[in-house]
Every structure is written in structure tokens, then in C-alpha cells.
Structure 1
Amino acid sequence: MSGFQEFLDDFLTSWKNSSLEEIKSKINDTYQAREISSQSELYDFGYEESIEGWDQAFTSFQKDGTKWILEKLTVTPLRRNEMLAIIFASIEVDGEKSETGNLFFNTFRKEAQGNWKLVRSYIEAGIPGEHVRAFE
């Protein structure tokens, strides 16, 4: 698991730094995701839509100085070569933390070459941060 922890820390650093090229290298091209919006609407998407979304967010945040706040809540093995990382992602604008964020259930798989890649996500959007922190 230590190799995975290093990978996950690197993944989160790439995310915090809004590095599209680094994020792209950590996502499998068969990536699949499901997001549930704050209005309970369901949205399924794959690799291309994901990269477009990262690109739009990173570009926008770099322009206006928005910062990512990423909280690694838990990591657990799923299968021999798969790990689940639950991450709460919110933002900070002009020193003010957002009251809500997205809860990511990210599954990573160790590939034949030994590299970890993000293979699927389930995302609950618009979750109040106080709900996530209530169990700490």
C-alpha cells in the first residue's frame, strides 16, 4: 500500500497544482464516472469529458486565483490491484472556503506496467462540508 500512498499523494498534488498534463497521465483512457448533482441529477461521463472538465476548471481557477482544498478521508483496498480513495474536494476563493464541495469515491487500479491509474469515480456534488466533517 505504501506505493499506492505515494501515487495518491502525487495525484492530489497534481490536482492542487491544476496540472492538466500530470492529471492526464494518471487517468486510464477507459475511465468511467458517475456524478450526482446537488439537484440529484445523474451524469455519466468518460475519459474525454473528464479531461475537458479538468481543463476548464484548471484554466478558470488559475485565472481567478481559486485554490483547491482536498481532504483525503479514507483509503481502502478493494481487490488485489485496486484501491478506493474517498476525497472531499472544495475550493477557496479570496481566502474564503466554500461551504460545499464534492465527495469523490475514486477507484485506482495498478496496471501491468506497475503504474497506478484512476479507472472510475462516483461523485456526490454540492455536499455541505459540515456533513463530511461531522464524523471526524
Structure 2
Amino acid sequence: MVDHFRKFLKHYLACWSNSSLVEMKELISPDYQAREITNGEIVDFGYTESLIGWEQGINFIEENQGEWDLNELYSIPLRQDEWLSVISASLVINGKRLNTANLFFQTFRREHNTDWKLIRSYIEAGIPVVSLSNLQLQSK
């Protein structure tokens, strides 16, 4: 199970890093639920809104010759077929890292004994990159 999930997570992060909206759509469950906190404001959303957000993010990356800087901070099994991964995501635009990043707590479930899907997210947006650098050092 661990190897199967690790292989999936590597693929998931590669799709994200490559800004592949088509592949991301396949990796997110239609029952997806999320909560994002930005500057103290709480927004709850589901699958459709998530895809709109991914599309906007990917367009921003392409328009600004950017790239994602993704770091898996931690992954733990929650249940037999569920894993939680903590992922930091920041943007690099024209070779310069932005000063803020997002911290994703993402839950994945194995469905139909083969496919993993993103089913839930909790996202803290706009965290100073310095704070995440300290967190990354502590997790290693």
C-alpha cells in the first residue's frame, strides 16, 4: 500500500508541477471538498470551483513564465485506503521566488482498489516563505 501511494503522489506532484489541467482533473474526486484560508477569510468549495482555480493558476503560470516549487513535507496513512499529505507550494516567476506560499493538507483515497483521488483539502494561503522554510527543516 505504501509503495502504491508513494508512486501515485509522485505522479500527482508531477502533474501539478507540469501544470497539466487535464491530468489534474482525473486525479480529483468529483466529491472533492475544500476549505481555503486567505488573510483570515474562509472559503469552502468543491470540485467545479477547484477546477476553475486550477485553470486560473495554470494560466497565471503560463502568462508569467513561472513554475511551481512543490515540497512534500509529510505524509501519513489515515485509514487503510486514505493518506494525508502536507505539501507546500510556492511560485517562482522569472527566476524569483514569491515571498508567500500556500500550505496544503490534502487527503487522498484509493478508489476501486487501484485509483487514488484527492478527496479533501485544507489550504492556508499566503504564508511567508520564511515560515515554511523553518517548517521544512523541522520535518527532515
Asked if Structure 1 and Structure 2 have the same fold, meaning a TM-score greater than 0.5 normalized by the shorter chain, the answer is yes
Does the aligned pair in 1 maintain the 2:15–2:24 contact within 8 Å? yes
Q: Note the aligned Cα RMSD (angstroms).
A: 0.9
Q: Following superposition of structure 1 onto structure 2, how do residues 93-108 of structure 1 map, counting pairs within 5 Å? A: 93-108=93-108
Aligned twin of 2:12: 11
Structure 1 unaligned runs (5+)? none
Which letter does structure 2 place at the counterpart of 1:58? Answer: I
SS at the partner of 2:61?
Answer: helix
Q: Which has the higher helix share?
A: 2
Does the aligned pair in 1 maintain the 2:86–2:104 contact within 8 Å? yes
C-alpha distance in structure 2 between counterparts of 1:2 and 1:91, whole Å: 29
| TM-score normalised per structure 1 | 0.96
Aligned twin of 1:58: 58
Task: Determine what percentage of the aligned residue pairs are the same residue.
Answer: 45
Aligned twin of 2:29: 28
C-alpha distance in structure 2 between counterparts of 1:11 and 1:23, whole Å: 8
Which letter does structure 1 place at the counterpart of 2:54? Answer: W
SS at the partner of 2:59?
Answer: helix
Cα shift at 1:132: 1.7
SS at the partner of 1:55?
Answer: helix
CA-to-aligned-CA distance 1:78-121 (integer Å, 9 cap, x gap):
11110000000000011111121000000000002410000000
Which letter does structure 1 place at the counterpart of 2:65? Answer: G
C-alpha distance in structure 2 between counterparts of 1:98 and 1:128, whole Å: 9
Cα shift at 1:133: 1.9
The number of residue pairs the alignment matches comes to 135
Does the aligned pair in 1 maintain the 2:64–2:94 contact within 8 Å? no
Cα shift at 1:60: 2.1
C-alpha distance in structure 2 between counterparts of 1:61 and 1:27, whole Å: 20
Aligned twin of 1:70: 70
C-alpha distance in structure 2 between counterparts of 1:97 and 1:71, whole Å: 14
